[in-house]
């Protein structure tokens, strides 16, 4: 197949004669040959949207993609095969696939965000559409794929995550609404979660958790402080009596905080003896906005990187006007961060680097035998050389980013061609908070609740409804409170066809590791001629699921990217 017949739209070479990313315009999929292995993740790693949002894919999906590609590369080297990750011209699937392989290049091929992005831009191809927020209607604030790559790059160098020490089971278990709906954002500092209720129950199909449901998990993970941003639904003394600090910083659902609330949040977070659990109603908008300010202040992320990282950890975070508010606070946070580090460390360029990332297996093991107070000096080290990474200014002339940032109303009309809008309630009327009218957080929670129901025409036999062995019981299941018979109900617990959990055994096959070279692709060496029609229609809503799958750790270890100033022993 060549580019003249219109099937091959673009081709990018990430490793010479070994790893390619291509876009195909065809209704058939390539068949692997003795020389080339083809694979796609478009129908396997699927973003669960709230409204018109479509990405970026979360951290667990990125982890699973990296492990999958590592195994494929190992097999490919042994059999002397080329690997081609292909996607379609569908703009949403294409940008998510590109985000995955470019992030892989950053984490495993030692590319910079600009290098990985420039490879994606090689050849003639349509531009990558930008990501948008999880609000309804038209979006006027966008996050580009390059912003996401820079967020992954910075987070990796600051030790926010480490895929050699990452408990993907814990991530996937606790992000589910029936298991707590919580996500770590910054290691040993911030966890975002859905607001607790007065009792543990299921209401209108949505699991509600009492404060007591979180006690065990919070204590085992050194969470000492709870900050509530929404109206009072539970008695704060239930946290306080159990030894947690609790603070109320209320502002209206969907709105932005005033400067007094922002200062209180930053001060309390900085003084907290352990990690801080932050929640509003859904744990997305108000929660993500304030955590974003902390990340800009203490880690020098720009606003786009902060939004991108928080959404990678907790999809749907930071909504509507909260995005512009964060942009307005960017310079203030940078200046405040410099003053803070100058006063504490004597240098504005000394940044905290985490020795254990979020969902760290090693830290979990250490905490079983040591108190967190005794581990305090092992959790962080401070380095001024990492400031070169955080303050790096990209001088490359990348027209693609400029095009993405100017693509506003047009891209939204393409997402919603009929112009229909499912408006959220106005947040200007503060009385709505107390009158029982549905707010933005209510709408988002309702969408999450609907995800738990099986999709039409989908088998749920392969759905994991029980806790993985590695994750200890922490949250009380609401079913234990509302159970009406002796037989456990599996219907309520089952989640929709979440591809990472349900279909992983379909694609967690071949894998592996390799080298890096930046060259223009020689597609004459890649066999794209062997194609076969799809024998069965496969859609996101109708995919047969395999049962009996199991998770496997990567066969190979990730190449170590030394962090500046970090000792080998840490």
**What's the rounded Cα separation, in Å, for the pair 299 and 285?**
21
Instruction: Return the closest-CA partner of residue 298 out of 260, 333, 274.
Output: 333
265: which 2 tokens? 């949040």
**For residues 275, 276, 282 and 288, what is the CA-based torsion angle, rounded to 10 degrees?**
-90
Contacts of 331 (CB under 8 A, 6+ apart): none
**What's the rounded Cα separation, in Å, for the pair 318 and 283?**
10
**What's the rounded Cα separation, in Å, for the pair 246 and 224?**
9
Question: How many DSSP H helices and E strands does the chain contain?
Answer: 21, 15
Strand partners, 464: none
Long-range contacts, stretch 366-370, CB < 8 angstroms, 24+ apart: 367/220, 367/221, 367/222
Residue 533: burial class (beta carbons within 10 Å; 0-12, 13-18, 19+): exposed
Classify residue 539 by its DSSP letter.
B
Q: Please check whether residue 328 is in contact with residue 71, taking contact to mean a CB–CB distance below 8 angstroms.
A: no
Give the helix/strand (H/E) hosting 20. strand 19-24
Annotated catalytic residue, options 148, 280, 313, 513: 280
- What is the β-pairing status of strands 201-203 and 206-208? antiparallel
CA 149 and chain centroid, separation: 12
Is residue 280 annotated as a catalytic residue, yes or no? yes
Give me the sign of the Cα torsion angle 499, 50, 420, 139. negative
251: which 2 tokens? 């502002």
**What's the rounded Cα separation, in Å, for the pair 205 and 188?**
32
Ordered DSSP codes for 131-170: B--S-SS-----B-HHHHHHHHHHHHHTTS--GGG--HHH
**306 phi, psi to nearest 5 deg:** -65, -45
- What is the β-pairing status of strands 82-88 and 223-228? unpaired
476 CB-side CA count, 13 A: 18
Angle, CA 329 vertex, CA 327 and CA 333 arms, to 5°: 125
**What's the rounded Cα separation, in Å, for the pair 454 and 203?**
18
Distances (CA, A) of 291 to 58, 183, 301: 18, 12, 12
Classify residue 560 by its DSSP letter.
P
Cite the DSSP H helix spans in 436-561: 440-451, 478-482, 499-502, 504-507
Distances (CA, A) of 91 to 49, 113, 413, 420: 15, 21, 13, 20
Query: Catalytic site residues?
Result: 280
């Amino acid at each position: 197949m060549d580019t003249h017949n219109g099937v091959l739209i673009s081709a990018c070479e990430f490793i010479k004669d070994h790893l390619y990313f291509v876009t195909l315009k065809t209704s058939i999929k390539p068949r692997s040959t003795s020389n080339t292995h083809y694979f796609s993740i478009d129908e396997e790693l699927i973003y669960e949207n709230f409204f018109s949002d479509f990405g970026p894919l979360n951290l667990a999906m990125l982890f699973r993609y990296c492990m999958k590609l590592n195994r494929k590369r190992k097999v490919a080297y042994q059999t002397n095969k080329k690997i081609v990750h292909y996607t379609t011209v569908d703009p949403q699937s294409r940008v998510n696939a590109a985000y995955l392989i470019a992030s892989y290049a950053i984490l495993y091929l030692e590319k910079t965000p600009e290098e990985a992005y420039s490879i994606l831009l090689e050849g003639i191809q349509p531009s990558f559409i930008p990501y948008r927020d999880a609000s309804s209607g038209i979006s006027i604030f966008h996050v580009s794929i390059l912003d996401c790559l820079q967020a992954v790059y910075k987070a990796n160098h600051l030790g926010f995550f480490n895929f050699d020490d990452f408990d993907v089971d814990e991530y996937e278990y606790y992000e589910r609404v029936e298991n707590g709906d919580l996500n770590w954002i910054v290691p040993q500092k911030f966890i975002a979660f859905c607001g607790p209720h007065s009792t543990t129950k299921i209401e209108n199909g949505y699991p509600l958790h009492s404060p007591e449901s979180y006690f065990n998990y919070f204590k085992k993970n050194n969470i000492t402080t709870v900050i509530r941003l929404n109206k009072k639904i539970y008695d704060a003394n239930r946290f306080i009596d159990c030894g947690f600090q609790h603070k109320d910083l209320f502002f209206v659902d969907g709105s932005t905080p005033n400067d007094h609330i922002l200062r209180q949040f930053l001060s309390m977070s900085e003084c907290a003896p352990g990690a801080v659990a932050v929640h509003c109603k859904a744990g997305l908008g108000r929660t993500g906005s304030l955590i974003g300010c902390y990340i800009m202040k203490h880690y020098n992320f720009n606003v786009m990187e902060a939004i991108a990282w928080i959404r990678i950890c907790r999809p749907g975070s930071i909504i509507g006007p909260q995005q512009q508010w964060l942009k307005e606070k960017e310079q203030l946070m940078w200046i405040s961060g410099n003053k803070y580090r100058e006063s504490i460390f004597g240098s504005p360029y000394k940044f905290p680097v985490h020795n254990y990332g979020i969902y760290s297996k090693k830290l979990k093991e250490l905490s079983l035998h040591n108190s967190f107070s005794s581990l305090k000096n092992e959790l962080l080290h401070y380095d001024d050389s990492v400031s070169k990474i955080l303050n790096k200014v990209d001088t490359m002339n990348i027209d693609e980013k400029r095009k993405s940032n100017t693509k506003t109303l047009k891209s939204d009309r393409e997402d919603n061609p009929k112009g229909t809008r499912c408006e959220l309630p106005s947040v200007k009327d503060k009385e709505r908070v107390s009158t029982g009218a549905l707010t933005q957080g209510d709408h988002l929670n309702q969408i999450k609740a609907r995800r738990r129901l099986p999709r039409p025409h989908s088998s749920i036999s392969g759905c994991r409804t029980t806790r993985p062995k590695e994750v200890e019981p922490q949250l009380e299941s609401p079913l234990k409170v509302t159970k009406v018979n002796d037989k456990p109900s599996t219907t309520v617990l089952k989640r929709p066809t979440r591809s990472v959990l349900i279909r992983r055994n379909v694609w967690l096959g071949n894998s592996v590791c390799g080298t890096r070279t930046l060259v223009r692709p020689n597609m004459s060496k890649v066999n794209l001629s062997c194609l076969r029609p799809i024998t069965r229609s496969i859609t996101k809503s109708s995919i047969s699921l395999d049962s009996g799958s199991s998770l496997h750790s990567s066969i190979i270890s990730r190449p170590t990217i030394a962090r500046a100033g970090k000792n080998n022993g840490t």
